[in-house]
């Protein structure tokens, strides 16, 4: 009954796509359990590069059933354009399953996301503008539209009416925008119903039955631990739970079924959008990490903020997710530095602090305390085993492992599918 959770241990964009795809061949189901098309996975297969936002990356592995769980928010127009793009390149997408309980990102949710950010001005979150937060807000306010609502026009109309009642007041009276018409929205949503139908399923039942039959199920988190609505750097977070517990609620699988929780950890740190980031660099080292690491958002095209590895964050990720393993990515990007700073603690108002402070004020004041590890200059992209790595790279990995509190079971040494060193098998 191997049920693995794979999630970002930092602020997202750690290279989950590569890790998921590496496991894809031996995995029967790959499940997304939260988020929507705010995520961005780049998966390299042979000489082909795929950028996925909403679809689970297992869609590229022929034997694997990709599943969009109940905890995901789905923009049908994005779903179809992603499916069309893959079909045009010869990828079979017919096995996809989508929970009837997943919520739909409606056009008005996208509008509200954009106008709210504009309204916040310099206090903005820096969202991806895809309507993610407003869709989850509707879900929690119990005025959301679910995929299953597309199959009952009368219910759909009532629900869209309920959702737009308050929003139109807000749009016209606060944001100075035109009201959105119920009929137009209903018509647009109904237009998706037929094409979606073959994919809609009781995914909770399917996944639990699969686990009873000893199938391998991989739960793939979008975003990352510090973007979690409960455990992240609130309010500069996404509106769902990428942390491990989210896999249970977002897919309908009990915590006793989860066998392994793997944190994807970049060998340095990046984040997009606003919010605190203690090891952020504003100098040529930051520019170099951005350039060498190709640190530009897959979804928004924004440059990512870059900084050194932060062990305080890694320890926190181990704790809140109950991590059993790490997959360390992009180690090759650090090749060429004489010394590599690693943040081992924070200094907050003159005190040394070893663990992530629970107070946001403290976290905003946190200054990194660095240890300097010796770098390496040899090309490591051809390394196939841990012993192929230069001694200093081995020591860097061992030091990170010790500081972070869980074994590093795989290391990414290049963007390609096979440029990975496996130390312990995940299965």
Q: Which residues are catalytic?
A: 13, 41
User: CB of 30 within 8 A of CB of 67?
Assistant: yes
Residue among 93, 120, 124, 126 that touches ligand IMP (CB under 6 A): 126
Instruction: Indicate whether 6 belongs to the interface with ligand IMP (CB under 6 A).
Output: no
Query: Which of the stretches 127-135, 155-163, 251-259, 336-344 binds ligand IMP when contact is defined by CB under 6 A?
Result: 127-135
CA–CA dist 264, 8 (Å, integer):
5
Which residue has the closest beta carbon to ligand IMP? 273
Instruction: Indicate whether 130 belongs to the interface with ligand IMP (CB under 6 A).
Output: yes
Nearest to 283 by CA among 262, 300, 266, 305: 305
CA angle 115, 118, 124 (to 5 degrees): 120
CA–CA dist 130, 124 (Å, integer):
15
Q: How far is the CB of 78 from ligand IMP (least distance, A)?
A: 13
Under rule CB under 6 A, which residues in 34-53 are in contact with ligand IMP? Answer: 38-40
Instruction: Indicate whether 132 belongs to the interface with ligand IMP (CB under 6 A).
Output: yes
Torsion angle, alpha carbons of 36, 32, 291, 282, to 10: 70
CA distances from 242 to 30, 227, 329, 336 (A): 15, 7, 19, 33
Q: How far is the CB of 286 from ligand IMP (least distance, A)?
A: 17
Nearest to 278 by CA among 315, 307, 245, 255: 307
Residue among 227, 247, 253, 331 that touches ligand IMP (CB under 6 A): 227
Q: Answer left, alpha or beta for residue 273, where phi above 0 means left and psi between -120 and 50 means alpha.
A: left
How many residues bind ligand IMP (CB under 6 A)? The answer is 21
Rg of the chain, C-alpha, whole Å:
22
**Residue 2 or 221 with smaller CB distance to ligand IMP:** 221
Residue among 17, 58, 222, 293 that touches ligand IMP (CB under 6 A): 222
Instruction: Indicate whether 263 belongs to the interface with ligand IMP (CB under 6 A).
Output: no
User: CB of 278 within 8 A of CB of 366?
Assistant: yes
Q: How far is the CB of 338 from ligand IMP (least distance, A)?
A: 30
Instruction: Indicate whether 272 belongs to the interface with ligand IMP (CB under 6 A).
Output: yes
Instruction: Indicate whether 58 belongs to the interface with ligand IMP (CB under 6 A).
Output: no
Instruction: Indicate whether 105 belongs to the interface with ligand IMP (CB under 6 A).
Output: no
User: CB of 39 within 8 A of CB of 228?
Assistant: no
Query: Which of the stretches 82-90, 123-131, 333-341, 397-405 binds ligand IMP when contact is defined by CB under 6 A?
Result: 123-131
Instruction: Indicate whether 238 belongs to the interface with ligand IMP (CB under 6 A).
Output: yes
Instruction: Indicate whether 133 belongs to the interface with ligand IMP (CB under 6 A).
Output: yes
How many residues are present in the chain? Answer: 427
Instruction: Indicate whether 103 belongs to the interface with ligand IMP (CB under 6 A).
Output: no
- Residue 207 gets which letter from DSSP? H
CA distances from 307 to 267, 270, 285, 301, 381 (A): 10, 6, 8, 19, 22
Query: Which of the stretches 5-13, 95-103, 310-318, 339-347 binds ligand IMP when contact is defined by CB under 6 A?
Result: 5-13
Q: What share of the chain is helix, strand, coil (3-state, %, to 5)?
A: 40, 20, 40
**Residue 127 or 324 with smaller CB distance to ligand IMP:** 127
CA distances from 81 to 24, 37, 190 (A): 23, 12, 17
**Residue 127 or 409 with smaller CB distance to ligand IMP:** 127
Instruction: Indicate whether 223 belongs to the interface with ligand IMP (CB under 6 A).
Output: yes
Instruction: Indicate whether 7 belongs to the interface with ligand IMP (CB under 6 A).
Output: no
Binding site for ligand IMP (CB under 6 A): 11-13, 38-40, 125-128, 130, 132-133, 222-223, 227, 236, 238-239, 272-273
């Amino acid at each position: 009954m191997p049920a693995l959770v794979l999630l970002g241990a930092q602020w997202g964009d750690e290279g989950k796509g590569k890790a998921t795809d590496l496991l894809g061949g031996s995995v029967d189901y790959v499940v997304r359990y939260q988020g929507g098309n705010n995520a961005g996975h780049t998966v390299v297969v042979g000489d082909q590069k795929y950028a996925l936002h909403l679809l689970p990356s297992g869609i590229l592995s022929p034997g694997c059933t990709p599943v969009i769980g109940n905890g995901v928010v789905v923009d049908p127009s994005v779903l179809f354009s992603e499916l069309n793009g893959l079909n045009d390149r010869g990828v079979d997408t017919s096995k996809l399953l989508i929970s009837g309980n997943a919520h739909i990102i409606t056009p008005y949710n996208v509008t509200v996301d954009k106008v709210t950010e504009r309204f916040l001005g310099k206090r903005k979150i820096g969202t991806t503008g895809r309507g993610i937060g407003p869709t989850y807000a509707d879900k929690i306010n119990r005025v959301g539209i679910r995929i299953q609502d597309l199959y009952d026009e009368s219910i759909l109309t009532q629900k869209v009416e309920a959702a737009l009642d308050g929003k139109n007041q807000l749009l016209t009276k606060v944001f100075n925008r035109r009201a959105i018409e119920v009929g137009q929205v209903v018509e647009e949503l109904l237009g998706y119903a037929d094409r979606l139908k073959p994919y809609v399923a009781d995914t909770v039942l399917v996944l639990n039955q699969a686990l009873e039959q000893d199938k391998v199920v991989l739960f793939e988190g979008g975003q990352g631990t510090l973007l979690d609505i409960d455990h992240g750097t609130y309010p500069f977070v996404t509106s769902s739970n990428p942390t491990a517990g989210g896999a249970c609620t977002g897919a309908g699988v009990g915590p006793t079924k989860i066998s392994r929780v793997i944190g994807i950890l970049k060998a340095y740190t990046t984040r997009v959008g606003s919010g605190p980031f203690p090891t952020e660099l504003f100098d040529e080292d930051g520019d170099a990490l951005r350039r060498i690491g190709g640190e530009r958002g897959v979804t928004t095209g924004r440059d990512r903020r870059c900084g050194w590895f932060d062990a305080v964050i890694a320890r926190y990720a181990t704790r809140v997710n109950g991590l059993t393993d790490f997959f360390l990515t992009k180690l090759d990007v650090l090749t060429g530095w004489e010394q590599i700073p690693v943040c081992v603690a924070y200094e907050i108002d003159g005190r040394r602090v070893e663990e992530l402070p629970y107070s946001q004020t403290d976290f905003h004041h946190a200054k990194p305390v660095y240890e300097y590890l010796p770098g390496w200059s040899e090309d490591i992209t051809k390394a196939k085993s841990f012993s192929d790595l230069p001694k200093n790279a081995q020591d860097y990995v061992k030091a990170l492992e010790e500081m972070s509190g869980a074994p590093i079971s795989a290391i990414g040494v290049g963007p390609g599918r096979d440029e990975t060193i496996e130390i312990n098998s995940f299965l």
